[in-house]
Structures are given as C-alpha cells and as structure tokens.
C-alpha cells in the first residue's frame, strides 16, 4: 500500500507543481514516483526470492 501511496502522492505533487509553476514541487513529485517504483521493484524481487526458497 505504501508503494501506491508514494506513486499517487508523487503524481499529485508533480501535477500541482506543473499547474502552479513550482519547479521544486514538480521535481519532488517525480522523486516520489521514482521511490514508489523502486519500492515496487524491490518488493517483487523479494517475493521471487521467497518463492524460490520455498521450492
């Protein structure tokens, strides 16, 4: 759930930053989205390792 939260929060910040012309907020939104993606990828990798260990 935290992964989706980071991504959604990032999208909102990026959009609001674009609308208001706030470059820092827009950049922070992109960073939040990237963090969400990294967390998602790490979770997928952990799940795969766990599956292999159970075999």
pLDDT in tens, 8-30: 999 999 999 999 999 999 999 99
Task: Read off the pLDDT band of 33 (50, 70, 90).
Answer: very high
pLDDT reported for residue 30: 97
Domain boundaries along the sequence of the chain: 2-54
DSSP state of 2: H
Spatial separation of the C-alpha atoms in residues 45 and 38, rounded to whole Å:
11
pLDDT of 49 strictly over 70: yes
Angle at the Cα of 2 (from 18 to 7), degrees rounded to 5?
25
């Amino acid at each position: 759930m935290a992964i989706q939260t980071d991504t959604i929060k990032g999208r909102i910040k990026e959009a609001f930053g674009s609308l208001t012309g706030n470059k820092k907020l827009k950049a922070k939104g992109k960073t939040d989205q990237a963090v969400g993606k990294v967390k998602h990828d790490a979770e997928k990798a952990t799940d795969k390792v766990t599956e292999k260990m159970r075999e």
